[in-house]
Structure 1
């Protein structure tokens, strides 16, 4: 019976527990012999549902009947909403069945009645209908979007079937099976087809088209076959598929489809490994499809031929001489899906090539603070085609003759590198807040020599009617690339700096805990000097800088400087700029700087107020339960539904500036500066109201890329969000009121509208 205090207030309810069924009631009557019973004023939880019944009768171990019952996902004694039925039958943690049922809000019944109800109470995956959304599209009309069915076939695979119908006669359909085998593999496949009609049949602007798309993702668990990996990521289809996807402005302008299937194997206790890869790239604007299959890579890890099988004592210096092999062979082809004779296109455009690299290294013992490493490299390239260009005076053009065959080119290089680290420390007074500053310098110098082994692989020929000549490489370089012409013997150098300090923690007087703060993460310069070149021996200088201020503002910057002077016409002359400006690094040809910052108030601990159950990626057994692509798009368009009220305010912003300097065809230079700024901010107006916005602005063009805002209201077991993007190329608004429970996520009031500027 109920337990009350001296004032008559209830302090404890009778609790009944049997197996995994638990309930709290005003009164419990139970017959241990028949295992049947009756309770009054009973609360019990079934899955995500809280069920209340004025009377609940237990007729068997798992079957119960409730009279004057209600069920809800609100955990309050007086719930904000509930579904009320005179009679309810439920099977413990499995299913519930009702007769006529109607909803109540704040205890007020709504004039909506359903003749019966069937409600799943079990956790985990179960088959069922997927509720659609109602949307509107200017080109396709009103839509019943994403009506579907989710089917669980077994513990190892399931599938989602979806369809959309538009009022102008268009439709889409998709089937998306997923599969999973623990410790073996997992993957998902999706096949989509769309049939759209714009305007009406007989109109001059009537358009009807059908497009298809297939995606496949597969990954194998490395524990299944140690040393063997197989992965697939396929995205292929009709060239117009992306631009026809409704209500997805970001995808409409994606003009690339890419696929990769790869297999690799590493042999145990063997120094070699192999990788085979096939890929596909599709430009939907040009309707050009490129195929790369196969791409075979064979590597032999560094082996040390002079090492003793049973070493005694210290390792001798020559035993660290190592040799390796890296081989890559590729074949490519391409075709246009708009033209006929696809197989002929594939055959005519087929091309293969290979590269081989044999690096020889020697790890010497440190010479004091210096780490010295000599190296030798041999490279060889194989080509399928030789290209001979000649000037055709009769037709005033450059002709190319292609010769099929097997051709090779080779190159060798020799190098010696030395690196070290130099530290400097400056200590302050013990009473100072800053205790010490530390400066680290990391210089690297390498000497390299490359003989001219490819002089015969280059030739000169006339390129225009005025008699000008050009220098060309004999072989088709689309697979293996080319070797550079000429001899190189020079010095490459780089210098990097790091500056940090140690400060006393606030309130600490014993210096027991010092905090390290990085002032400059990196400040460096890189370049090279060619000793054997006849002019312009010094390369361009690359300057880079990176730091993080107060662990909140990340700054990165880089610039490329030309150390040579230019004449009045903008021509580069072989005279270093330091003769004219001793303190200058040179003429800045390009530069960029980027600032990113993030600030927020509060501890930022995620609360249960947000829609935590909205995005389950895997369920019981690891099977995927939702379609990630659609959920990610939904999140980007409806940030208000995923607002975190535990963060009082937050501001994320970024700024980037890019500078470029171009040579004009008629002489002189043109400079171009591009500036962008982006902002993402949110703030709690009250503990239950939150407002936020995201914006992007191009300062150079004075153009708004996109601005979107949201208003979110937290209502305990419900939530409301308003999302609007009033300006920019993609404009939309959505209004959504829905329960937080993932079980009732489709029981919502939603209004969505999209507007595009194509």
Structure 2
């Protein structure tokens, strides 16, 4: 290591310019003794002037300044070399050898060999090669965001320009290699005989070859005539020019289309459009699809965002669908639309206030006419919600306002609830002292609350005969009020008593009277409008406790089993305040089947049940836990706690004041997670009474004629689990932003700036699961089974019918090799119809910088096949080969 060579070099250059005759013999003056004695100090001293001199008030300015040569560099050049440094004084050059490092302002150069020319201000760096000429180490150049690795680098300190040979550099996701690269300034380079690729290998799998290339850092790369090559083999495809955007973040530009085919719509271009950045808060996307048979659609998507304030997106779609040809009997021309809006407010903008919107509304047939989108085709429901809430800090009350929309695309029924208001007063204790000294008195635990709701609903069918007057006729409003009064008493031994009083009231608009029409042999409904009030008051006293039981084992891996029982009993009384709204009517032509109805049933809020209740409500909740001894672990990990059953139990009631059928239905439930993998939930509704030939309960217990628990009214069972192998080692399986398709330009799809992009990406992921495979997981499997039983009344009220359904859902994937993945998705089997409803199979191949995907949907009304091969890099995400076929069952 040599330090200060640069200073020595400057001095030697100045000495070289002077003609000085060198002295052959130099004597050291320090060896001769001086015989002349030193002079004595003068004893006379000048006295200080007693007259005060006036100071000059004009400051003295030194007019002499050092003028720098125009050829002087703007800063020092720092360098070091591990091997050696040679200074050529006559040639004004410095030669550096062995892992050299040179720095000048923001320029950094590391190379095996460097030559610095003082006269031309040019620094030349060369690579290191072995005796056979093989490359060992390249020269590395860095300036700002520019980084080059080259065989030879020439850089001018003065002009900041450079020339490199056989150079590799990276611009964003793009790797650039050129035989000769000229650096024009700090952000622009010109490449001769170059290639561009997103493959990180020295010999890339694919590239674009061009003789001329201009790159503006983080902005754009433009080429002359170019052609692609794969594995070094050029393809006979030539383009007059190439345009590669390199800018990060948002920027305006064209949106390239994708070629798609559809059996019903023909050959088409999907996604063609333009993206415009209006300002830092607002951007807009306009896209369209067009097909050869005459179908076209347009989508306008403005997106807005203000940091720490709000963000959202609006989605407006219009589609003109043409099916078959004009003279065909099945010809149809349909115009549909769809409106979507998402909006959210940052809680930091207004503490205590929230506002959100998620609107999805449009024509009922819009989703059914979407090509190549199975998920939207089968989506029969559309829901919208706009909600606002306000909480006052330090106050016990809050306000909520909302508007909701529900749309059934199959029946074309639309329900709009506008507005829905709710006001809640949290429990307050009016008798509680402001300053509590000592223990609380019993009456200080008396709490009072309030909950009120108001709603207004409109219902109509999306048909051609729809009129605004019919819409207003369907409007109905209602309100509900509830005043709970509670009190917590001190525990009495193991028991906890809690008295309560609840008063509820509903305001309803309509009264429905159903009567049997003997002429038409059907039930007719007469509607009368007005203001109707139904109310209910309940008095109760509940008692609860916990009972623990433990069974221990001495010589077993099962250390203990613990059973927790939580019984609860409540005594309730409810007077009959709603019987005036109930009536009995005939249901069929036999004259023997009658039904009991409430004239207020069918309003926005449900009425209360008739009859008084005076009895008990009881229930028991349980859970089971086990302690398991481990063979291998010791100490704190020797015994592990396992939850066998998270909860199981029942609840029911008995009405002492009822005339008949005093025992109420039993609600049974169970929930458990076995081995921390299998989730099980089950529930059932059991009636304790027998039924007549119409299926209606009679006042006779089910077990009176033999051993029978009751009549099953409803039952459900759901079992789900998920298994997956361990991920690869982090060092071997870590993905970068380039390999992760869910990242775009280093940002996750959850970035609020990408709300619309997120929705579009997630939609594309559902349609093309094979393109988003996690190759770090060798295999994964998820199973879901559900079964249900329901006993429901027939449409004509002539009896009951039993409905049974069961289905199995399977999703899974496994890696055949580290690069091949096979997966099945959306496998849905219906046991009721004994048919496979949906099934999607996909095969994926990881090709380093490319990915191949095959998707096959052989079952269902919309069957499809697609083959896709595309680069992984987001920069070239539209450079794909796609072949899609869709087959529709009418």
TM-score range, shorter chain: over 0.9
Q: Pick one of 734, 737, 746 that aligns with 2:869.
A: 737
Q: Pick one of 874, 879, 886 that aligns with 1:747.
A: 879
Alignment correspondent of 1:152: 277
CA pair 622-660 structure 1, distance change in 2 beyond 3 A: closer
Alignment correspondent of 1:680: 811
Please state if 1:613 is matched with 2:741.
Answer: yes
Alignment correspondent of 1:692: 823
CA distance in 2, matches of 1:165, 1:670: 49
Matches within 5 A, 1:99-114: 99-114=224-239
Alignment correspondent of 2:252: 127
Q: Give the number of the structure whose residues are more often strand, by fraction.
A: 1
Please state if 1:728 is matched with 2:855.
Answer: no
**Residue 754 of structure 2: SS of its match in structure 1?**
coil
Alignment correspondent of 2:145: 20
Unaligned runs of 5+ in 2: 1-125
Higher mean alpha-carbon deviation, 419-428 vs 86-95, is at 419-428
Higher mean alpha-carbon deviation, 226-235 vs 399-408, is at 399-408
The CA deviation at 1:302 is 1.3
CA distance in 2, matches of 1:399, 1:747: 64
CA distance in 2, matches of 1:668, 1:177: 54
**Kept after mapping to 1: 8 A contact 2:373/2:767:** no
CA pair 559-598 structure 1, distance change in 2 beyond 3 A: same
Matches within 5 A, 1:167-186: 167-186=292-311
Matches within 5 A, 1:263-282: 263-282=388-407
CA pair 587-679 structure 1, distance change in 2 beyond 3 A: same
Number of aligned residues: 756
Matches within 5 A, 1:149-298: 149-298=274-423
**Residue 624 of structure 1: SS of its match in structure 2?**
helix
**Kept after mapping to 2: 8 A contact 1:615/1:631:** no
The CA deviation at 1:153 is 1.9
Please state if 1:650 is matched with 2:776.
Answer: no
Unaligned runs of 5+ in 1: none
CA distance in 1, matches of 2:452, 2:696: 42
**Kept after mapping to 2: 8 A contact 1:249/1:730:** yes
Alignment correspondent of 2:611: 486
CA distance in 1, matches of 2:330, 2:692: 58
The CA deviation at 1:512 is 4.7
Please state if 1:498 is matched with 2:498.
Answer: no
CA distance in 2, matches of 1:560, 1:511: 43
Higher mean alpha-carbon deviation, 161-170 vs 309-318, is at 309-318
CA distance in 1, matches of 2:531, 2:793: 40
Matches within 5 A, 1:338-353: 338=463, 342-353=467-478
Higher mean alpha-carbon deviation, 453-462 vs 215-224, is at 453-462
**Kept after mapping to 2: 8 A contact 1:174/1:190:** yes
Q: Deviations over 1:617-649 (max 9, x none)?
A: 867973116544443343233222112222222
The CA deviation at 1:125 is 2.0
Alignment correspondent of 2:753: 623
The CA deviation at 1:76 is 0.8
CA distance in 1, matches of 2:889, 2:349: 50
**Kept after mapping to 2: 8 A contact 1:504/1:511:** no
Please say which structure displays the higher CA radius of gyration.
Answer: 2
CA pair 571-268 structure 1, distance change in 2 beyond 3 A: closer
Q: Deviations over 1:5-34 (max 9, x none)?
A: 799765533221112222222222222222
CA pair 303-539 structure 1, distance change in 2 beyond 3 A: same
CA pair 11-620 structure 1, distance change in 2 beyond 3 A: farther
The CA deviation at 1:113 is 1.3
**Residue 735 of structure 2: SS of its match in structure 1?**
coil
Higher mean alpha-carbon deviation, 108-117 vs 4-13, is at 4-13
CA distance in 2, matches of 1:113, 1:51: 19
CA distance in 2, matches of 1:567, 1:290: 37
**Residue 623 of structure 1: SS of its match in structure 2?**
helix
Q: TM-score, normalised by structure 1?
A: 0.92
**Kept after mapping to 2: 8 A contact 1:133/1:146:** yes
Higher mean alpha-carbon deviation, 746-755 vs 477-486, is at 477-486
The CA deviation at 1:310 is 1.9
Matches within 5 A, 1:404-443: 404-429=529-554, 432-443=556-567
Q: Deviations over 1:408-427 (max 9, x none)?
A: 22211011122222222233
**Kept after mapping to 2: 8 A contact 1:554/1:597:** yes
**Residue 632 of structure 1: SS of its match in structure 2?**
helix
Alignment correspondent of 2:842: 710
CA distance in 2, matches of 1:234, 1:4: 66
Q: Deviations over 1:103-149 (max 9, x none)?
A: 11111111111111221112222222222222222222111122122
Q: TM-score, normalised by structure 2?
A: 0.79
Higher mean alpha-carbon deviation, 733-742 vs 93-102, is at 93-102
**Residue 588 of structure 1: SS of its match in structure 2?**
strand
CA distance in 1, matches of 2:800, 2:581: 34
**Residue 692 of structure 1: SS of its match in structure 2?**
strand
